Amino acid sequence: MNELDTMRHSCAHVMAAAVQEMFPDAQFGFGPPIEDGFYYDFELPRQLSPDDFKEIEQRMRRLAKSADHFEYKEIDGKSAIELFTSMNQTYKVEAINNLVSSGEPISLYKSGPFLDLCRGPHVGTTKQIGHFKILSVAGAYWLGDENNPQLQRLYATSFPTKDELTTHLARLEEARRRDHRILAKQLDLFSTNTDVGAGLILWHPKGGVLREIIENYWREEHRKHNYDIVFTPHIGRKKLWDISGHTQWYQDGLFPEMELENQSFINKPMNCPFHVQIFDSQTRSYRDLPLRYGELGTVYRFERSGVLHGALRVRGFTQDDAHIFCRHDQFAKEVGGALDIAYKMLGTFGFTDLKLIVSVRDENRDKKYVGSDEMWTLAEQGLIDALTEKNIEYQRVEGEAAFYGPKIDVMVEDAIGRQWQLSTIQVDFNLPERFDIDYEDSDGSRRRPVMVHRALLGSIERFTAILIEHFAGAFPVWLAPVQAVLIPIADRHIEYCNEVALKLASHGIRIHVDDRGERMNRKIRDAQKQKVPYMLIAGDRDVEANNVSVRLRNGEDIGAITPSVFAQTVQQVSIDRSESYGFGH
């Protein structure tokens, strides 16, 4: 445990002590440090709510002030079980039983009146637990197993200085404000529900527009780079993934088999075997290569309901997948080409701070790798050459390569400094071998192609969630599901607004007339809440001059202009996929 984790974990003990004061019958689970904080699991006589946090914190402060030492004690398993049984701590007894069977000594830590089963280490006294804050409470199954009782998990954090805590809380608040699950609901983009099944996304009309734009852009870029677009089914015979090895490695991640006419089918967890079949549907010559098959392919993978998270982690998602079949002398160039598309597209979406990680074999070759040493050296060097040639900086990580080939991962930084892994480009010597595919070389011999797997946005679902959080729902004009709302000042301006809307829609502008019987200010406020880039307001003077008064989402007034000037400007910023509103803003 590092210093910060030790401090946070000690703080968890003090939090547990405070909870014990409030609820003498409390039962305790575990309380480890986690990224950015810590938690503790409790079974309590009643549900905790955020109203309780203040009291717990006050008690924690008092316990901290008393500066009790964290005292270490080691006892034998039998005594430990007796001790915690007498304290009526059933979860701790279960935990000790597990430790006893593994033969570990039982170590305890006591601070003030609070005694805990714990391996440590801890800070010296309860005074050294930093500046803390309780953040949330959530249900958590004992040992993460849904067949076990559900406990209450209290999340909290602590930092050495007050400034660090304040900065962290502000960041959390900002992340909450951008939470894609809340914004997706507020902006009516997509939803999930338990009747459909957890982790399966329903795209609503506005989310559908956003998705269509992203996908069309993706297709456009890939066509430009000579990819062929293919379509493959959502299910297929299980034997395909037996050959590819997925049923072996990803068994836990697969949806169960379906038996039909004595054949076994599964929902596809990956698109690769289908693309291999397309390659193999003809005899291929060295002149045909490279072949680049792109597909926005929806795959299904089982994830425990506990780890599902909005559209970031789901059970059905659409990879922006492609497989390149090429000769050994071609793949470095192909990797470079895929990187070009990644840089172009990610940059267009507003991600300009990119980090590259190249994963290669471990130095001692301890792990098992498919393919000859020579091939690997060539592949690793090929990736690095591709990056060097493009003058791209990268971090080289040994031992992180898949057993079938090295890879490049691209990380982006979002608007509030969080890192997301988006693109993956992977060289593969294994699948061509497993599926026994080949091409005819110039000398007439049969040779294995190399496969490059690559997804640049990752998945459309996850990428959309990241975009929502990156832009806090305020998409640039080209991505905005509704680009403009027309607001009549009075009912007598509705007809004019409808005429203008028709004209703008014919120019491809996504527009909506707000003809509700609400006041204008309310309509403006609602359009701002919907994060619509432009509000076009029409009153007597506008109707007379055949104008609209343009106001931007950020509150700035552009003034009165003709609908056709408006249309031209919006079309231009959309074609440019610009982050600007046009009109010099």
Q: Which residues are catalytic?
A: 272, 301, 319, 321, 323, 407, 453
Cβ density class 294-324: b for 16+ within 10 Å, e for less: bbbbbbbbbeeeeebebbbebbbbbbbbbbb
Our CB check for Zn ion shows the closer of 275 and 470 to be 275
Q: Which stretch binds Zn ion (CB under 5 A): 80-88, 118-126, 342-350, 507-515?
A: 118-126
Q: Which stretch binds Zn ion (CB under 5 A): 197-205, 271-279, 491-499, 529-537?
A: 271-279
Strands of 268-314 (E only): list them: 284-285, 291-300
Our CB check for Zn ion shows the closer of 41 and 542 to be 41
**Binding residues for Zn ion, how many (CB under 5 A)?**
3
DSSP state of 312: T
Our CB check for Zn ion shows the closer of 169 and 229 to be 229
Our CB check for Zn ion shows the closer of 28 and 369 to be 28
CB of 412: closest distance to Zn ion in angstroms? 21
CB of 568: closest distance to Zn ion in angstroms? 43
Strands of 346-449 (E only): list them: 354-360, 395-398, 407-413, 419-428, 439-440, 446-447
List the structure tokens of 61: 């402060």
For residue 121, cis peptide bond before it (omega within 30 degrees of 0): yes
Cα–Cα distance for residue pair 80/97, rounded to 1 Å:
9
Per-residue CA distances from 487 to 130, 336, 423, 537, 558 (Å): 53, 49, 41, 5, 15
Three-state secondary structure readout of 178-208? CCHHHHHHHCCCEECCCCCCCCCCEECHHHH
The residues facing 291 across adjacent strands are: 325
CB of 374: closest distance to Zn ion in angstroms? 24
CA trace torsion 335, 338, 342, 348 (10° rounding): 140
Strand, coil or helix: 320: strand
CB of 489: closest distance to Zn ion in angstroms? 56
Strand, coil or helix: 251: helix
Q: Which stretch binds Zn ion (CB under 5 A): 269-277, 366-374, 493-501, 522-530?
A: 269-277
Q: Is 341 in the site for Zn ion (CB under 5 A)?
A: no
Our CB check for Zn ion shows the closer of 453 and 493 to be 453
Our CB check for Zn ion shows the closer of 427 and 485 to be 427
Per the listing, tokens 């590259």 go with: 356
Our CB check for Zn ion shows the closer of 455 and 561 to be 455
Q: Which stretch binds Zn ion (CB under 5 A): 154-162, 192-200, 268-276, 365-373?
A: 268-276
CB of 213: closest distance to Zn ion in angstroms? 25
CB of 311: closest distance to Zn ion in angstroms? 22
Beta-carbon count within 10 A of 146 CB: 10
Q: Which stretch binds Zn ion (CB under 5 A): 212-220, 377-385, 396-404, 448-456?
A: 448-456
Within 512-541, the residues that bind Zn ion by CB under 5 A are none
Q: Is 118 in the site for Zn ion (CB under 5 A)?
A: yes
CB of 553: closest distance to Zn ion in angstroms? 40
List the structure tokens of 307: 């780890």
Please give the single-letter amino acid code of residue 372: S
- The site map against Zn ion for 25-54 (x = CB under 5 A) is ------------------------------
List the structure tokens of 505: 């829609």
CB of 428: closest distance to Zn ion in angstroms? 7
Cα–Cα distance for residue pair 421/368, rounded to 1 Å:
26
Our CB check for Zn ion shows the closer of 453 and 551 to be 453
Within 123-142, the residues that bind Zn ion by CB under 5 A are none
- Among 246, 292, 453, 553, the residue binding Zn ion under the rule CB under 5 A is 453
Our CB check for Zn ion shows the closer of 453 and 470 to be 453
- Among 95, 96, 214, 272, the residue binding Zn ion under the rule CB under 5 A is 272
Residue 453: which of 329, 316, 274 has the closest Cα?
A: 274
CB of 455: closest distance to Zn ion in angstroms? 8
Q: Which stretch binds Zn ion (CB under 5 A): 84-92, 217-225, 331-339, 449-457?
A: 449-457
Q: Where are the alpha helices (DSSP H) in 112-204?
A: 162-177, 180-186
Instruction: Please give the angle made by the CA atoms of 276, 452 and 454, to the nearest 5 degrees.
Output: 100
| Element spanning 566, H or E | helix 563-575
Q: Is 8 in the site for Zn ion (CB under 5 A)?
A: no
- The site map against Zn ion for 158-187 (x = CB under 5 A) is ------------------------------
Residues of this chain that bind Zn ion (CB under 5 A): 118, 272, 453
